[in-house]
Structure 1
Amino acid sequence: MAQSERITGPHIPAQGVDPVLARMRAVAARLPPQDGVAVFNRIYLSVTEAMDHAIDQGARGGFGDRPAAVALGVRFAERYLTAVDAAACGVRPPACWRPLFQFRSHPQVRPLQFALAGINAHIGHDLALAVVDSCHTLSCEPAALEDEFDRVGDLLVSLEERVREELMPGPDLLQVADPLTHLLGSWSLERARDGAWAAARAVWALRDLPSLQAEFAQRLDASVGLVGRMLLTPLPAFPG
Structure 2
Amino acid sequence: MTAENIDEVVDGLAGIVREARRAGDRIGYFAALYRQVTVEVRTGIHAGLFEDGARMDRFDTLFGNRYFDAYDAWRRDRSGPRCWRQTFGLLADADTVIVQHLLLGVNAHINLDLALAAARTAPGEDIHALRHDFLLINDILGRVVLAVQDSVGDLSPFLSLLDQVGARTDERILDFSVRQSREEAWHNAVVLAGLNEAEQAATIERLDVRAAVLARLIARPGGVVRPALELIRRTENDDVPAVIRHLDHAMQRPSAR
Whether TM-score is above 0.5 comes out as yes
1:173–1:148 distance in 2 versus 1, CA, 3 Å:
closer
1: CA distance, partners of 2:33 / 2:142: 12
SS across alignment from 2:83: coil
Partner of 1:164 in structure 2?
149
Deviations 1:170-214 (A, max 9, x none): 258747xx9xxxxx58x622111110000011111222xx44332
Aligned pairs for 1:56-205 (under 5 A) are 56-58=46-48, 62-135=49-122, 141-168=126-153, 169-170=156-157, 174=161, 184=173, 188-205=177-194
Q: State the percentage of identical aligned residues.
A: 25
Partner of 1:49 in structure 2?
39
Partner of 2:13 in structure 1?
24
Report the Cα offset of residue 36 of structure 1: 2.7
Contact 1:25 1:45 in 2 (8 A): yes
Report the Cα offset of residue 164 of structure 1: 2.1
* Bigger share in helix: 2
Contact 2:158 2:235 in 1 (8 A): no
Q: Normalised by the size of structure 2, how large is the TM-score?
A: 0.74
The residue identity in structure 2 corresponding to 1:145 is L
2: CA distance, partners of 1:64 / 1:192: 23
Contact 1:132 1:200 in 2 (8 A): yes
SS across alignment from 1:238: helix
Deviates more, 1:230-239 or 1:217-226: 230-239
Contact 1:36 1:103 in 2 (8 A): no
Report the Cα offset of residue 123 of structure 1: 1.2
2: CA distance, partners of 1:92 / 1:24: 20
- Structure 1: which 4+ aligned runs deviate by more than 3 Å? 171-175
SS across alignment from 1:44: helix
The residue identity in structure 2 corresponding to 1:162 is A
Contact 1:36 1:115 in 2 (8 A): no
Deviations 1:53-108 (A, max 9, x none): 111111xxx21311111111111111011111111111412112112210011111
SS across alignment from 1:143: helix
Deviations 1:102-156 (A, max 9, x none): 00111111111111211111111111000012125xx861112112211222211
Say what the alpha-carbon RMSD is for the aligned residues: 2.9
Deviates more, 1:36-45 or 1:166-175: 166-175
Report the Cα offset of residue 232 of structure 1: 2.2
The residue identity in structure 1 corresponding to 2:65 is E
1:39 matches 2:35 = no
Q: Normalised by the size of structure 1, how large is the TM-score?
A: 0.79
Contact 2:33 2:145 in 1 (8 A): no
Partner of 2:249 in structure 1?
none
Report the Cα offset of residue 30 of structure 1: 1.6
The residue identity in structure 2 corresponding to 1:41 is A
1:19–1:173 distance in 2 versus 1, CA, 3 Å:
closer
Contact 2:157 2:235 in 1 (8 A): no
1:200–1:172 distance in 2 versus 1, CA, 3 Å:
closer
